[in-house]
């Protein structure tokens, strides 16, 4: 582990002093895996509380509510302006997100309600997934919730303006009358959130400028909330935060968008897409779904991303009003002009083009067309730009004049024409091929244009397919993972030309039996020729190996398993089927959902079926959930109901199975964990204290910190008395306890004089015993006095005739540890009762008990009340006087008394 990894937040867990000490001890129960599980559970619970609005949230500037209201009104007016732009989403269907290390999907609406309570967020998604839409939805939700003020900053537009981030906001008409001082005053309080859209759209120079400004803002205004959107390839954002991944559209969302855009016709298009290989995956991406839904009814049904955009552009240009305007000004060469603009922006690794650069690009394209004798009269660049904005996919960007495509994917599609031309022209010449590799294949900004070009070339004529294959081999020499994506997006005809070459390269690269980068290449390519190398790794009995292999790439591609994948998977053990199928359902595209569902629905093991349903439910793949459960048995339904996996699947057969399982669960004795969970998350004010005490007193606790223990702590917030009574019953009955149970009992302030509890507290003091410590934590002063007597007697036997007694030492230390768990007031009372008759040695040992008692405000603390502190202060004076007057007081006697005042308040 590197020093950075060791000191990072991901390697930390927040504990009190005493729990931290316990963990750092040699106790074998506190393993790394257990600590990580505790941390995961705690973080999950924190997220749940925030998303359910159960946690305290920051408010806008309470010192100047009028200023807060003005800023909020300006944000609302600004958002209304954004609604009129081409960037605004065509529907209001809420998107779904995956929060890093949180095990439940989150909607934009629920995240918006909690965004002012959360750490800064980093929104990550592939192209076309709806990053901008997500930020708009969060902004709307924050305003609707009334707890914050969202301010959107389109970074691509900002990059063209030359202004600071703050200036770019405050100079908008909606913010007229609000100064930078006003903003800083409001942002000094929680509630102001900057939503920075499109970090990936900035070139390196703009990123450097943005980084300096954002870092300075965060340092000057630590309460300012930040959310930034970006792609996976551009994660160098200027602040740390929780990563949030945008999830693909589930089938319900797809249908909602389709019906909203096209009604019944939209529903038919989505249904056809689900039944068309290649398109099923595309409609999980919002951009491609909306593009597909924008096509007229008689348009050919596309099969690739490139084809969807090509048909969309063609239909757009053929619309009568657009066609006429484009021909009058652009003379039919609008693609050439847009290609040139797209190449300029992509070379700059940006999405916004300054006005002067845009006009220069148009001028260069005009010269090229004139040199090729395609035009004789060159239109004015401004006229071309205006018609492309009014009638095509270009739009004005920023308050200072600049331009951008309506979506980055449109820019990348137009830039792909240049990539296609260069591949055909340069891939055969060794010198030109090296230039192509350096200027295109080696630069991340060109990845999407390259893949669009590959989809076209691979489906072209023989010459184009040959060039495509050579381009893949050239890309392998620069970026093998890019080459794997190119292989996956190409065709069998292209693969047949290069298969032997690529397989030879991979064979020399891969270390057999290792989950290396070559494995990532093989899975990403989706080629079944690599199955022999991949299969042993993804089906290894060691989960650490199999999961590492399955998660070694952005998305697991089941086509790597070959045509008999179903047969091979069915032959695996239940455990391996569970791992492979659930990972496939979680991390694959639509083909993986289909394959995992097809196998799971006939799997004889209910645990396998339930695990696959769990993964499918997270992705809201309701149609696939219904398929798996269509003929499932009672045991499978019992598992999914017990784990609360299926909330609302619109399938009659599934609904019947779930209802029957719930009836069986109600008829049988429901597990204590399930009963406890129901109480913890129950709504309403019904008092269930008696039931809870019964559950706590009898439930099985398999580990000292398991999921049930987490629920006990959660229940304690509402039913503290019931929890303590239940734990006390466990102590009396000799049932297993969990770490911290004694602290819960101590917090109740009991002072019980009960012989049975005292016997437990004194039993076998030479060994560690959770029950004994818990019993000690509730004893009154008389019982504690008897513990102190046993402690003093053991102390007197430590040395007999000058020889050390090991048994007495173990009893002495054990009792000292147990007395540290008693109530502070009970201990002081017991010491006072024995002080008068104590000799120097006993006074020293009593002082040691008081000095070492955990008097703090942590969970482990057993604090002294004011009366007890006053009594201890009097004891210090009394014992000190007696020691000084004594002729036989030893140095350690006096030292014990001398350390006691340190525990007293100043």
Give one DSSP letter per residue of 167-233, joined into a string. Answer: HHHHTSGGGTT--HHHHHHHHTSTTEEEEEE-GGGS-HHHHHHHHHHHHHHHHH-TT-EEEEEE-TT
Token pair, residue 740, equals 């911290």
Query: What is the mean pLDDT of each successive set of 10 residues along the chain, which is 906 residues long?
Result: 69 68 63 73 68 52 78 95 88 88 81 79 90 94 89 91 91 93 92 93 89 94 94 86 91 92 91 80 87 83 88 83 88 95 94 93 96 94 92 79 88 97 97 97 96 96 97 97 97 97 97 95 97 96 93 93 95 95 92 94 94 89 90 91 76 87 72 79 77 86 65 86 92 87 89 92 89 94 94 88 84 91 92 92 91 69 84 90 87 84 67
Phi-psi category of residue 740: left, alpha or beta, with phi > 0 → left and psi -120 to 50 → alpha: left
Give the angle subtended at the CA of 864 by the CAs of 859 and 866, to the nearest 5°. Answer: 135
Please tell me whether residue 302 adopts helix, strand or coil conformation.
coil
Cα 55-56-59 angle, rounded to 5 deg: 140
Rounded Cα distance between 169 and 327, Å, is 38
Inter-residue contact 632 to 609 (CB < 8 Å): yes
**DSSP calls for 602-638:** T-S-HHHHHHHHHHHHHTT-HHHHHHHHTT--HHHHH
Most distant pair of Cα atoms in the chain: their distance: 120
Question: Cα(827)–Cα(868) distance, rounded to whole angstroms?
Answer: 9
Counts of helices then strands in the chain (DSSP H, E): 48, 12
| 754-779: burial string, b at 16+ Cβ within 10 Å, e else | beebbebbbeebbeebbbbbbbbbbb
Q: Is 122 helix (H, G, I), strand (E, B) or coil?
A: strand
Range 867-876, long-range pairs (CB < 8 A, 24+ positions): 867/825, 868/824, 868/825, 868/828, 868/829, 869/904, 869/905, 871/828, 871/832, 872/828, 872/900, 872/903, 872/904, 873/901, 873/904, 875/831, 875/832, 875/835, 875/847, 875/850, 875/900, 876/900, 876/901, 876/904
Burial 328-349 (b: 16+ CB within 10 A, else e): ebbeebbebbbbbbbbbbbbbb
| Residue 694 · residue 701 · CB < 8 Å | no
Write 789-795 long-range contacts (CB < 8 A, 24+). 789/834, 790/762, 790/765, 790/815, 791/815, 791/816, 791/819, 791/845, 791/849, 792/834, 792/842, 792/845, 792/846, 794/765, 795/841, 795/842, 795/845
pLDDT of residue 804: 82
**Strand-pair category, 402-405 with 799-800:** unpaired
In this prediction, residue 729 carries a pLDDT of: 92
Strand intervals (E) in 789-895: 799-800, 803-804
Phi–psi pair at 537, nearest 5 degrees = -80, -45
User: What is the 8-class DSSP label of residue 865?
Assistant: P
> Are 862 and 824 in contact, with CB atoms under 8 Å apart?
yes
Q: Read off the tokens for 558.
A: 């089941």
Question: Cα 639 from chain centroid?
Answer: 26
Contact between 149 and 192 under an 8 Å Cβ cutoff? The reply is yes
3-state secondary structure 641-675: HHCCCCCCCCCHHHHHHHHHHHHHHHHCCCCHHHH
Q: What distance in Å separates the CA atoms of residue 42 and residue 32, rounded to the nearest whole number?
A: 15
Residue 293: half-sphere exposure toward Cβ, Cα within 13 Å: 27
CA distances from 900 to 721, 795, 866, 873, 894 (A): 34, 19, 16, 9, 10
Of residues 105, 102, 104, the one with CA closest to residue 42: 102
Check residue 61 and give its pLDDT: 42
Helix or strand holding residue 124 (H, E): strand 121-124
Closest CA to 353 of 433, 414, 418, 284: 414
Among the listed residues 523, 591, 33, the one whose alpha carbon sits nearest the alpha carbon of residue 284: 591
CB 646 within 8 A of CB 658: yes
What's the start-to-end Cα distance of the chain, in Å? 44
Q: What separation in angstroms does the CA of 217 have from each of 162, 210, 337, 893?
A: 17, 10, 39, 59
Tokens read off for 729: 């019953």
- Indicate if the alpha-carbon torsion angle 203, 206, 209, 212 is positive or negative: negative
* Residue of 771, 774, 788, 776 whose CA lies nearest to 842: 788
| Angle separating helix axes 840-851 and 824-835, nearest 10 degrees | 170
| Alpha helix (H) residue ranges in 564-605 | 565-570, 574-587, 590-600
């Amino acid at each position: 582990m590197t020093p950075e990894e060791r000191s990072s937040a991901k390697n930390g867990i927040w504990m009190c002093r005493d729990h931290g000490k316990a963990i750092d001890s040699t106790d074998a129960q506190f393993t790394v895996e257990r600590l990580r599980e505790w941390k995961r559970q705690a973080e999950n619970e924190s997220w749940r509380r925030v998303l359910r609005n159960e946690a305290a949230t920051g408010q806008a500037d309470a010192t100047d509510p009028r200023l807060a209201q003005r800023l909020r009104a300006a944000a609302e007016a600004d958002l209304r302006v954004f609604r009129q732009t081409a960037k605004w989403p065509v529907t209001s269907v809420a998107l779904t997100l995956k929060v890093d290390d949180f095990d439940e999907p989150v909607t934009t609406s629920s995240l918006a309600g909690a965004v002012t309570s959360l750490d800064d967020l980093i929104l990550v998604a592939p192209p076309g997934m709806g990053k901008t839409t997500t930020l708009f939805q969060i902004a709307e939700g924050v305003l609707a919730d009334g707890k914050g003020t969202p301010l959107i900053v389109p970074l691509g537009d900002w990059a063209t303006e030359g202004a600071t981030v703050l200036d770019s906001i405050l100079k908008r008409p909606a913010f007229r009358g609000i100064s930078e001082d006003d903003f800083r005053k409001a942002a000094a309080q929680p509630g102001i959130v900057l939503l920075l859209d499109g970090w990936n759209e900035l070139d390196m120079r703009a990123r450097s400028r943005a980084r300096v400004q954002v870092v300075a803002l965060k340092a000057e205004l630590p309460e300012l909330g930040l959310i930034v959107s970006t792609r996976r390839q551009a994660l160098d954002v200027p602040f740390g935060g929780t990563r949030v991944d945008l999830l693909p559209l589930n089938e319900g969302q797809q249908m909602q968008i389709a019906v909203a855009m096209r009604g019944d016709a939209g529903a038919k298009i989505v249904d056809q897409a689900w039944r068309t290989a290649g398109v099923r995956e595309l409609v999980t991406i919002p951009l491609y779904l909306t593009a597909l839904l924008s096509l007229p009814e008689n348009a050919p049904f596309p099969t690739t991303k490139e084809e969807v955009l090509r048909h969309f552009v063609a239909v757009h240009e053929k619309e009568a009003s657009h066609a006429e305007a484009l021909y009058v000004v652009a003379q039919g060469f609008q693609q050439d002009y847009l290609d040139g603009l797209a190449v300029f922006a992509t070379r700059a690794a940006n999405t916004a083009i300054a006005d002067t650069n845009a006009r220069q690009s148009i001028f260069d394209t005009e010269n090229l067309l004139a040199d090729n004798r395609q035009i004789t009269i060159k239109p004015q660049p401004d006229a071309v730009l205006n018609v492309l904005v009014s009638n095509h996919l270009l739009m004005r960007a920023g308050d200072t004049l600049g331009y951008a495509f309506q979506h980055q994917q449109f820019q990348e599609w137009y830039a792909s024409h240049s990539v296609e031309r260069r591949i055909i022209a340069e891939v055969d010449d060794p010198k030109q091929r090296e230039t192509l590799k350096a200027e295109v294949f080696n630069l991340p900004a060109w990845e999407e244009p390259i893949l669009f070009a590959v989809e076209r070339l691979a489906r072209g004529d023989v010459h184009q397919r040959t060039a495509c294959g050579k381009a893949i081999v050239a890309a392998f020499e620069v970026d093998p993972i890019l080459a794997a994506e190119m292989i996956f997006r190409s065709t069998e005809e292209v693969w047949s030309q290069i298969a032997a070459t690529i397989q030879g390269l991979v064979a020399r690269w891969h270390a057999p039996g290792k989950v290396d980068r070559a494995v990532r290449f093989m899975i990403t390519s989706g080629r079944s020729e690599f199955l022999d190398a991949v299969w042993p790794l993804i089906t290894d009995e060691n989960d650490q190996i199999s999961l590492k292999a399955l998660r070694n790439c952005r998305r697991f591609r089941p086509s790597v398993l070959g045509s008999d994948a179903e047969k091979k998977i069915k032959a695996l053990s239940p455990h391996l089927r569970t791992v492979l199928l659930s990972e496939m359902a979680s991390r694959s595209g639509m083909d993986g959902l289909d394959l995992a569902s097809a196998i799971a629905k006939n799997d004889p093991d209910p645990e396998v079926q339930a695990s696959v349903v769990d993964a499918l439910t997270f992705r809201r793949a309701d149609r696939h959930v219904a398929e798996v459960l269509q003929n499932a048995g009672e045991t499978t339904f019992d598992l999914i109901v017990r784990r609360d996996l299926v909330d609302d699947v619109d399938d009659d057969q599934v609904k019947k199975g779930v209802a029957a399982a719930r009836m069986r669960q109600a008829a049988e004795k429901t597990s204590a964990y399930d009963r406890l969970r129901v109480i913890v998350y129950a709504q309403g004010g019904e008092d269930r204290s008696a039931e809870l005490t019964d559950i706590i007193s009898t439930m099985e606790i398999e580990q000292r910190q398991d999921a049930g223990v987490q629920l006990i702590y959660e229940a304690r917030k509402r039913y503290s008395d019931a929890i303590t009574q239940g734990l006390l019953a466990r102590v009396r009955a000799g049932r297993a306890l969990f770490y911290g149970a004694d602290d819960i009992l101590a917090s109740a302030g009991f002072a019980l004089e009960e012989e049975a509890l005292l016997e437990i507290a004194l039993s076998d003091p030479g060994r560690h015993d959770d029950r004994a410590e818990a019993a000690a934590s509730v004893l009154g002063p008389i019982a504690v006095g008897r513990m102190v007597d046993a402690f003093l007697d053991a102390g007197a036997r430590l040395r007999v005739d000058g020889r050390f007694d090991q048994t007495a030492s173990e009893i002495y230390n054990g009792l000292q540890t147990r007395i540290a768990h008693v109530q502070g007031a009970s201990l002081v009372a017991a010491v006072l009762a024995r002080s008068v008759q104590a000799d120097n040695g006993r006074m020293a040992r009593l002082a040691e008990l008081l000095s070492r008692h955990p008097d703090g405000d942590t969970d482990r603390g057993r604090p002294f009340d004011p009366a007890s502190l006053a009594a201890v202060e009097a004891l210090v004076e009394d014992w000190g006087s007696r020691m000084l007057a004594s002729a036989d007081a030893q140095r350690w006697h006096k030292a014990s008394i001398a350390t006691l005042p340190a525990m007293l308040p100043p």
